[in-house]
Amino acid sequence: MRHCVPRRAAWRSNFTSAAAVGVLVLLLFAARRVWLAFTTSTASSSPIAKLSRGEQMVRSGLWDELTAATSHYPGEKVSGGIFLYKRQTSMLSRLLEEMASEHEQSGRRVQVCETGFGAGHSTALWLASHPLVDVLVFDNFDRAYQRECLEVLEASFPGRVTHVEGDTCKTVPGYQAAQGGF
């Protein structure tokens, strides 16, 4: 597997800006609140009551649709699988819900940038977490099932998922340069 390592100077300049520090602090505080709520929760005994909004939506059929789309391509190895890590799925979904809820008053959207689409399970989770969440996906889209999975998500969440096709070592920095950031 090839890994790309961004030049240090480019990343250093991005992470030293006051805005990036502010976002990081916001993320840390939101993560702490979510962790405390998660670990001290006394939710009802119903399994669905313990699930976040995003988890409820994707488990009610959206992940099944994605899995069905991959089944049309027998022999094709399916990548990804955030659903295999239930605690991570719950924590990330709740964190994203918390962040998006804080943006509701201003109407500002929350953008998740994801490298690697797989079959779209994590993209589905992010989109299902809150109506103000948009997802920007970078991937080669070289697996047979990926286009069909992307179409499922585009139909379920119109205008909220954007994909950039190609080698992420090139497309991520290229997108950032062209757009002036994320």
The pLDDT tens digits of the residues spanning 78-89 come to: 877 776 777 888
pLDDT value of position 36: 53
The pLDDT tens digits of the residues spanning 121-161 come to: 889 888 988 899 999 999 999 999 999 999 999 999 999 99
Taking the CB of residue 55, how many other CB atoms lie within 10 A of it?
23
Q: Which of 20-24, 26-30, 117-121 has the highest mean pLDDT?
A: 117-121
pLDDT, averaged across the chain: 77
Separation CA 14–CA 120 (nearest Å): 28
For 17, the token pair is 């800006």
Q: Which of 6-10, 31-35, 66-70 has the highest mean pLDDT?
A: 66-70
